Structure 1
Amino acid sequence: MPGCGVLGLCQYETNKLVRIQSVRLGSLKWSLNGFILLFICIMMLWNRKYQEFDLVVSSVTTKVKGVAQTHMLGVGDVVWDAVDYSGPSQDRNSFFVVTNVIVTEKQKQGKCPEVPLKGRLCRTDKDCEKGDWDQWSHGIQTGSCVKFDVLKKTCEVSAWCPIETKTNPPRPALLAAAENFTVLIKNNIRFPAFNFIRRNILPQMNDAYLRSCQRGNDSLCPIFRLGDIVREAGEKFSEMAVEGGVIGIQIKWDCNLDRLMQRCLPKYSFRRLDEKESNKTLYPGLNFRYAKYNTVNGVEERTLYKAFGIRFEVMVFGQAGRFSFIQLIIYIGSTLSYYALTTMLIDWLIGTSCYSAEVGQNYFQRKVESVQDKQKCILCVSYVDEDNLRLVKRSQKKSLQDVKPTSVEPRTRLYL
């Protein structure tokens, strides 16, 4: 065509309807359309694409119950209740249970030899700098080198004496009986967009139910045995209790708020969150220190506890859905394009060996038709007083005498 450098860029395609009278193709078309419609409906119901959703807003409180008795060397029998094994404080959405402990008794403010850790031995007072300390120190150095035992000498420090010397927790864990402790988890949720409020202690759960329910028989029971939580997380309580660790309690709310299909119940799952193998991490488990103070003969003393235990993190997530006409229309509009798969598949079948080459060629000859752009035809204009012919594009609004010709050709050349 004149004026086009690349013919492929000077084409426009539009759809052409070709109706083929064929029982086989008609049956295939409606079968494919039916399958697509069924798939769209199943996905709409399964994923609830007809609903609008809102994310959960949650608060969690816990209450741990249980009593255990331990025998500690130099102390005797000690009874542990919820105040003792829950630690000095509780974090938001979590609770801590002591399972093992190292006790250092009758510490007083004074001067004593530092624990002989690596690189902390001394020979003379020159090896000890007065007032020096670092992150591994238990006190402030006095500048004296004193005997720690018969064979070792260390720098003297001003600290709580005697200094804690044990580093490895007892095996088996002192509070292995914590496996039978129970925890009541109270979870209140809200979906702000729908002004919907619910908690995991359902309306039908009365006091008698909570006293007798067990997770083995009722998956909705909000009271959990600690040993069962650790076991469902894939761990063994007696092993985890030695050095401690972190367990995640996941509460999932997947709520359908439509009246005919309303359902909003919690689903619990458990997993370990920290690295469990001591040989793969520098500081395995979980521990912290706290002290209990008293006064003896006017002198303040304390008992130091290095507590190992399990922290249980309660994590709540979920969503609620409610019917929305707008979401339904958006989903229907987004799935209408799936029906184009039927046309693509049938066109592909006609062009393959499933049909004869003659039928396929006849189909595509009727479906594809090339049409020239008539507005680009050229008019030959001649004037009496001119020896040449003017070639002018058709459909011009100006007068032919005022139109600039695309080219000028001699009369004799055109008549040859």
Structure 2
Amino acid sequence: MCEPSNQFTMGLRDFIKDYFLSFWDYETPKVMVVKNRTLGIIYRGVQFLVSTYFIWYVFISQKAYQESENRLESSVYTLMKGSAVHGDDVLDTVEYAQPSEGGDVISAILRREVTYDQKQGTCAEYFNVANANCTTDSDCVKGDVDFDGHGKRTGRCVQYYNHTFKTCEIQTWCPVEDYAVVREPPLVEAINFTVFIRNSIHFPRFKVLRGNIKDASTKREVRKYLNRCHYDEEKDPYCPNFRLGYIAKQARENFSELCRTGGVIGVFINWKCNLDLDPSNCKPSYSFRRLDLRKDQASSGYYYRFAKYYMKDQVESRTLIKAYGMRLDVIVHGNAGKFSPIPTIISTVTAMTSVGICTIICDWIMLTFIDKNEVYSDRKFDEIVKEPKVPITTELSFINSYGSNHSDLSEGVPL
């Protein structure tokens, strides 16, 4: 009953022993020349493709021989320029730019909705607010504040301004914005407004500092150049002045639609610097893209509110302005690279190692698909086992015994 168990134990022991002993075997490549033109063409073709990939893509395109730095230090300063006539008023940057001078975010007002002469007091809630409509005071709970409303309810049901129906009375800035708002026409002249974007970057590892403004010998020449230039990718790549119309066009947006709803545009500045060349070749490239979600009507567009306060008849008053605008978010990316022996050696070794895949592919084809694959397999793999030495006395006794029984062959056996 115990024999199968003993056999299994002995078999497992032999397997473990053979595995342990084979672990210490040494394998060395064997050179075998195969006279097969098809296999040779495949081998050289794969060699060519792998070598071309590493030379062109890894070394030339990806510059694997360079040490790189992606964490640049950046500074951004923005300034809006231009003026426009809006009705009887002349608007300058203080009126339509928020902030007039800023960092990496600046916006231009393209359209306004204004509520004039608001004062603190009580008035009827806007009829479109949930549960604002009423018939008696019992419909209005005193002290309630509706999330979408304009103020705190007083508990009274009052006439809605000069209309016949009633809404709950609230304590707030009166009259409420939704009732008294005045919608002004869009500021179409803003299409020619310009935004000045000054950007400087620093790569600490390579101690390289660059800016996006054209170098000049004197400040006067710089100022003169900046007053007349507008950015052009080919003619003026170092001019930091961008027309709002140009930005909207590059972002594939309709400027008239932006005037109606507002929008957020990303200004992407990308620095890709090859420091093996002269630092003057390290210049920025610009791209523009709409950032707010146009498909989501609840969150698309861009607007904000602000108020202008003043005293009228010794009562604090304000003009509330809801401004629809074009907001610019300046986002800076960059990387720099410079020759270094360490990544060059690593990439070269990787390339040489990867070329070995050619041999693996061709060996697989040779041993699997080509005729005489069994012959190739027998020739390719040899196993050499160290044979035990036979004692000389044993050899002599064997020869003498063999010679006495085979007298016709004994003379030909060397001793």
Is 1:237 the counterpart of 2:248? The answer is: no
- 2: distance between equivalents of 1:105 and 1:326? 69
**CA distance 1:126–1:327, shift in 2 (3 Å):** same
Is 1:112 the counterpart of 2:123? The answer is: yes
- 2: distance between equivalents of 1:65 and 1:142? 47
What is the DSSP-based 3-state SS (H/G/I as helix, E as strand, rest coil) of the residue aligned with 1:177?
helix
TM-score normalized by the length of structure 1: 0.78
- Aligned residues of 1:169 and 1:242 also touching (Cα < 8 A): no
Q: Counterparts of 1:198-217 in structure 2 under 5 Å?
A: 198-204=210-216, 206-216=222-232, 217=235
For 1:303, give the aligned amino acid. Answer: T
Which residue of structure 1 aligns with residue 27 of structure 2? 14
Which of 99, 104, 113 in structure 2 is aligned with 1:102? 113
Alignment deviations for residues 244-288 of structure 1 (CA, whole Å, 9 cap, x no partner): 1111000000001114687311000000011124xx332432211
Alignment deviations for residues 119-147 of structure 1 (CA, whole Å, 9 cap, x no partner): 20121222223333233332332332211
Q: Counterparts of 1:174-323 in structure 2 under 5 Å?
A: 174-204=186-216, 206-216=222-232, 217-259=235-277, 263-277=281-295, 280-323=296-339
**CA distance 1:246–1:169, shift in 2 (3 Å):** farther
Deviation at 1:313, TM superposition (A): 0.4
- 1: distance between equivalents of 2:40 and 2:294? 63
- Aligned residues of 2:79 and 2:101 also touching (Cα < 8 A): no
For 2:59, give the aligned amino acid. Answer: M
- 1: distance between equivalents of 2:227 and 2:280? 28
Which residue of structure 2 aligns with residue 159 of structure 1? 172
**CA distance 1:167–1:41, shift in 2 (3 Å):** farther
**CA distance 1:373–1:336, shift in 2 (3 Å):** same
Indicate the structure with greater helix content. Answer: 2
- 1: distance between equivalents of 2:315 and 2:181? 30
Give me the CA root mean square deviation.
3.3
Deviation at 1:31, TM superposition (A): 6.6
Which residue of structure 2 aligns with residue 50 of structure 1? 65
Deviation at 1:338, TM superposition (A): 1.5
Which residue of structure 2 aligns with residue 87 of structure 1? 98
Alignment deviations for residues 342-401 of structure 1 (CA, whole Å, 9 cap, x no partner): 322443454466x652xx5443322211234658x9x9xxxxxxxxxxxxxxxxxxxxxx
For 2:126, give the aligned amino acid. Answer: V
Alignment deviations for residues 202-261 of structure 1 (CA, whole Å, 9 cap, x no partner): 314833332333334434431100111111111101012211111100000000111468
Alignment deviations for residues 51-104 of structure 1 (CA, whole Å, 9 cap, x no partner): 111121111110111112223xxxxx3322111111367764110111111111
- 2: distance between equivalents of 1:223 and 1:162? 42
Which residue of structure 1 aligns with residue 3 of structure 2? none
What is the DSSP-based 3-state SS (H/G/I as helix, E as strand, rest coil) of the residue aligned with 1:106?
strand
Is 1:4 the counterpart of 2:14? The answer is: yes
For 2:98, give the aligned amino acid. Answer: G
What is the DSSP-based 3-state SS (H/G/I as helix, E as strand, rest coil) of the residue aligned with 1:187?
strand
- 2: distance between equivalents of 1:163 and 1:197? 53
Is 1:41 the counterpart of 2:72? The answer is: no
**CA distance 1:132–1:371, shift in 2 (3 Å):** same
- Aligned residues of 2:80 and 2:101 also touching (Cα < 8 A): no
The alignment covers a number of residue pairs equal to 367
Q: Where does the alignment leave 5 or more consecutive residues of structure 1 unmatched?
A: 72-76, 380-416
What is the DSSP-based 3-state SS (H/G/I as helix, E as strand, rest coil) of the residue aligned with 1:284?
coil
Deviation at 1:157, TM superposition (A): 2.3
Q: Counterparts of 1:249-398 in structure 2 under 5 Å?
A: 249-259=267-277, 263-277=281-295, 280-351=296-367, 356-357=371-372, 360-372=373-385
